[in-house]
Amino acid sequence: MIILIAVMLLFLPLITDPLNSSGYRGNEKSESFGVESICLGDSIVYERPFFFIGLPFIIIALGGIFSKYESIFSIAYESGTTLVLYHGVCFVLKDDKLSIRGKWYRGKRLGIQGNVVVADRIENLSSGLVFSRK
């Protein structure tokens, strides 16, 4: 039983992350490209657990939960709103001018009207900060 739970927890991020680069190929645009746009709201940085190692008991778990930081915000693009997801810490404010490069997805499959960008590089042209995963 414990082995089954451990195996399920190991593969859970692959099942629950719909924008996983290997799992989401349905409506992906063929290449990554960049745009310059205006941010519509402040970014939200949150911590997302992605891996658990240890022994789970009724409520108390012996071990640790490892997590990643992700940032999310929206931009104005093509007379609409586009959601931007960055795997890391990215601080932007409303009305900042941004240059964003990354993979673009259609949001219909995810229940979002408009597009979703999983950004690799975000350059804040207003403050000069650059957030890059490479």
pLDDT, average across residues 51-74 = 75
- In whole angstroms, what is the distance from residue 86 CA to residue 89 CA? 7
Q: Which domain holds residue 99?
A: 30-48+66-133
Which CATH number is 93's domain given?
A: 2.40.50.140
Residue 93 counted as domain residue: yes
> What is the percent of the chain with per-residue pLDDT over 90, rounded to a whole number?
35
- Total tally of structural domains belonging to the chain: 1
Residues 100-122 have a mean pLDDT of: 83
Tokens 């939960």, residue located: 65
Residue 112 carries which DSSP code?
Answer: -
125: in domain:
yes
- In a domain, residue 108? The reply is yes
In this prediction, residue 30 has a pLDDT band, given cuts at 50, 70 and 90, of: very low
User: pTM score > 0.85 for this model?
Assistant: no
Report if residue 60 sits inside a domain.
no
